[in-house]
Amino acid sequence: MWVVAKYKTNELNFLRENLLKTFGDKLEFYIPKIKCQKYVQNKLKTLERFILGNYLIFYHDKLNDDNILARLKYTKGLHYILKNFKYNQNEIKDFVNLCKKFEDKNGYLTQDFFNNFCMKKGKFINGPFTNMVFSIISEQKAKLKILIGNIKTTISRKSGYLYRSI
């Protein structure tokens, strides 16, 4: 059964270790992530960001048992488990499969994942336009016409630039 849980900030590795001790090697973790760039002291740094924030998705067959789930909520590093995850197993599984479909060879989500969502405004998260906000004028199959400030430009969907909806 898939479980969606919120973990305490900076305690993800600790929580993983505790869950692996409890369930063993058959436990499957999934946290979708992107690689973004940010200017720090006039230098461009590459960072790893989790798109779900402090949420973690994990799977194990034993998670069907209510007694195990009751003990699980006292695991160190775990903030809480989302309610009603039992009723949303198909949606969780579909989300994980969708994310895995759009991962590159290093496990990072590609821009194609974000292209599935309708957006009118976006923000670049890597490249020379990092942190710049833009409006979409028109969308075509292979490119976007955008407006950055007063400048109209066109970017290719395969340019390698990552952007997200705002």
Q: Which domains does the chain have, with CATH numbers?
A: 2-109 (3.30.70.940), 113-165 (2.30.30)
pLDDT of residue 114: 78
In contact, 77 and 14? CB cutoff 8 Å: yes
In contact, 132 and 40? CB cutoff 8 Å: no
pLDDT of residue 70: 84
Q: How confident is the model at residue 22 (pLDDT cuts 50, 70, 90)?
A: confident
Structure tokens at 160: 């390698």
pTM listed for this prediction = 0.73
